[in-house]
Amino acid sequence: MDETYVGGKNENRSISIRHDKSEGTLERYKKSTVFGMVKREGEVRAKHVQNASELSLIPVIYENVNVETKVYTDQHKSYSKLKRVYDHKIVKHSKGQYVKGRVSTNTIESFWAILKRGIYGICLFTSKKHLQLYVDEFVFRYNTRKGTEN
């Protein structure tokens, strides 16, 4: 499971909503947050959430993930309490670690690449109001990609 941020680049925004580069990583908070989970070699689930806080993510996780599931995440602080309920393993992206044995977030990262390519390449623009509809479309495409042709 992982979160991603969808929205335009700072330089493409109007001057009135553009932010100073000194704000650093705050740019992602001006974008919409999408949270996703994928079963290895299985289905993906994704949801537009208010933000990447524990309060936003944990209820979605509890609603979608069985307690007997092994959960792999990055070291984002919102996932810190998952070990109380799940067999939780992390990869430390900040230290250049992306795979640790079978533990990785590469599958959901691949879905984010598909989602973003689709939104920026096909849709060009998405409003926060309709973002979940776009996310649902790409979830459907991903989950049915191995279907049979008729």
Measuring CA to CA, which residue among 97, 108, 143, 116 is closest to residue 1?
108
Q: Over the stretch 7-34, which tens digit does the pLDDT of each residue have?
A: 866 565 566 555 555 555 544 557 889 9
CA distances from 57 to 84, 89, 102 (A): 15, 17, 23
CA 31 to chain centre: 12
What local confidence, expressed as pLDDT, does residue 72 receive?
95
pTM: 0.82
Tokens 């998405």 belong to residue: 126
Confidence category of residue 99, pLDDT binned at 50, 70, 90: confident
**Averaged over 115-139, what is the pLDDT?**
87
Residue 118 in this model has a pLDDT that exceeds 80? yes
To the nearest 10°, the Cα dihedral for 66, 72, 73, 75? 120
Confidence category of residue 54, pLDDT binned at 50, 70, 90: very high
